[in-house]
Structure 1
Amino acid sequence: MLGDDFLHERQLAILNMVANSPKINVSSLSKELGVSQVTIRQDLRTLENNGMLKRFHGGAMPVSDDDMMKRLSFNFEVKTAIAQEAASLVNNGETVLIESGSTNVLLAVELAKKSNITIITNSAFISRYISGMNNVKIILLGGDYQHESEVLVGPLTRKCLKEFHVDKVFIGVDGFSPNTGFTCVNLMRAEVAHAMAEQADKVIIVTDSSKFNMLGVASQLQAEDVDMVITDTNISAKDLDILKSFDIEVRSV
């Protein structure tokens, strides 16, 4: 189990640096983060024990070419700002649905800093990532396990979702267009995202602005089904106007 210090910026920074480097040594991490090599070794040991990275003598490397770790490191600071804005919408004691995706991983980290939060998710990665935080309850939905992204999908996942109703759901996307709405690269994950939206009063998309230049193969949600989009300030004026034309509240950070 990860300790409370897992949520310090240092551990997140280590994961980000390791994900962006084939191999990185302890001395480099120590110098970059301004802490002792002993502290770095302790962090690396904890992260390795939880499957986040692999240690070697004098350093660390990514545990694999895992898709989630790569996406987590891309636009890391932007995604963190988006996650913090999304977390500000959630009150202590609230239960929320969180779909898979790199920004949602960071959202879960922010929510775990609050008091008495319950997170319902189909992401085994998220569940594992914040497993050591005692002030957050995690409900992991059942279903068919997709190894690369560590998510659960399929009919059983959708059936489990019908047992819950929440005020807010947070969904990540892979693309958007006015005609197709919000899209995903995986059909089964798109189906789960749609099922989650049906069980929430407020549907919130969390995504960096790069996704507005992309298009996934599977439709997740029509624009009319979305209440809010939280993104970064690099979103184009055109995309901003399109979202607002669908009465979507947009928060850019």
Structure 2
Amino acid sequence: MTLAERHNTILELLKQRGSILVSDLAEILKVSSVTIRKDLTLLEEKKMLYRTHGSAILINPYINDRNVSEKEKLNPEEKQAIGKAAASLIIPDDSIIIASGTTMFFLAREIRPSDHLTVITSSINVTSILARQHNIDIIQLGGLVRNSSVSVVSEYAVKMLENFSCSKLFIGVDGIDPTYGLTTTNLLEASLNRAMIQAAQKTIVLTDSSKFGRRGFGKICGLEAIDQIITDDKVSPLIVKDLEERGIEITIAPQLHKTQDSI
């Protein structure tokens, strides 16, 4: 097998699996681990994969903080479907927490309670959307406003949450890693998210499939702390199986245009 053929095989395997061990590649390609490491180095230099300890993955898992206006343009159809599926879980006279993140905007736009609803949120944009409805009581958490997310973070917000107990937390993330857990790009936000988890009976993660296998700077919690994930139909079946085996409920939100096309 030539160098080019070996590289093509490595990339094809990564597309199928998402990640692969150096030892597995050496066995499959019948070459030494040293040769595989050299191959991975060359491919990484071409920005075709990202090397980790003893393995390779298709994309760089580390995420930089981006402005909310930029994030809102990413995967809007998926986020709308996820928001609609999440809104259907809200029951009459519910008390919920909504964290920050652009997927939370899509959730807020889908919330139309027929009865009374209480919402605690750190997101100023979520408050702006929900404040138009007379039957929703909103508790806006206070603190320093992050310009990039238009949401508040502070120890004061954490202290406020100690006085509340809600049925559900809807939370967005910048990354979900099977070994590292849920992450965001800001340490203060990660701390506030942990307090939200403590104040809710059920933690529901809203995330499009692009966040799986990614990592932000600040760790929120391990996967054992969450109850349900709502995502889109582009998520890998292998990821779904792994999460379900961990006892996490997975909801795949059908996209609206796909639902209409099938009718």
Q: TM-score, normalised by structure 1?
A: 0.71
**What corresponds to 1:183 in structure 2?**
183
Query: 2:231 & 2:83 partners in 1: Cα distance?
Result: 9
Deviation at residue 138 of structure 1 after TM alignment = 1.2
Deviations 1:120-164 (A, max 9, x none): 001112112333222322110112221221111121110001010
Deviation at residue 113 of structure 1 after TM alignment = 4.8
Deviation at residue 92 of structure 1 after TM alignment = 2.0
Q: Do the aligned partners of 1:123 and 1:150 also contact (CA within 8 Å) in 2?
A: yes
Residue type at the aligned position of 2:247: D
Deviation at residue 111 of structure 1 after TM alignment = 1.7
- Which is higher, the Rg of structure 1 or of structure 2? 2
Equivalenced residues, count: 188
**What corresponds to 2:145 in structure 1?**
145
Distance 1:80 1:226, change over 3 A: same
Structure 1 SS opposite 2:107: helix
Query: 1:121 & 1:75 partners in 2: Cα distance?
Result: 23
**What corresponds to 1:193 in structure 2?**
193
**What corresponds to 2:172 in structure 1?**
172
Deviation at residue 73 of structure 1 after TM alignment = 2.4
Query: 1:115 & 1:106 partners in 2: Cα distance?
Result: 20
Uncovered stretches (5+) of structure 1, i.e. residues with no partner: 1-65
Residue type at the aligned position of 2:175: G
**What corresponds to 2:122 in structure 1?**
122
Note the 1:151-162 alignment, pairs <5 A. Answer: 151-162=151-162
Identity %: 35
**What corresponds to 1:226 in structure 2?**
226
Note the 1:1-253 alignment, pairs <5 A. Answer: 67-253=67-253
Residue type at the aligned position of 1:132: R
Uncovered stretches (5+) of structure 2, i.e. residues with no partner: 1-65, 254-263
Residue type at the aligned position of 1:154: S
Q: Do the aligned partners of 2:142 and 2:154 also contact (CA within 8 Å) in 1?
A: no
Query: 1:189 & 1:146 partners in 2: Cα distance?
Result: 9
**What corresponds to 2:38 in structure 1?**
none
Q: Do the aligned partners of 1:82 and 1:207 also contact (CA within 8 Å) in 2?
A: yes
Deviations 1:197-248 (A, max 9, x none): 0011111000001000321111112100000000011110221122112210
Q: Do the aligned partners of 2:178 and 2:213 also contact (CA within 8 Å) in 1?
A: no
Query: 2:90 & 2:106 partners in 1: Cα distance?
Result: 14
Deviation at residue 102 of structure 1 after TM alignment = 0.8
Query: 1:129 & 1:161 partners in 2: Cα distance?
Result: 21
Deviations 1:8-43 (A, max 9, x none): xxxxxxxxxxxxxxxxxxxxxxxxxxxxxxxxxxxx
Query: 1:154 & 1:209 partners in 2: Cα distance?
Result: 29
Q: TM-score, normalised by structure 2?
A: 0.68
Structure 1 SS opposite 2:115: coil
Q: Do the aligned partners of 1:112 and 1:136 also contact (CA within 8 Å) in 2?
A: no
Residue type at the aligned position of 1:213: G
Moved more, 144-153 or 183-192: 144-153
Q: Do the aligned partners of 1:112 and 1:135 also contact (CA within 8 Å) in 2?
A: no
Deviations 1:181-204 (A, max 9, x none): 011111111111111000111110
Q: Do the aligned partners of 1:184 and 1:220 also contact (CA within 8 Å) in 2?
A: yes
Deviation at residue 67 of structure 1 after TM alignment = 1.9
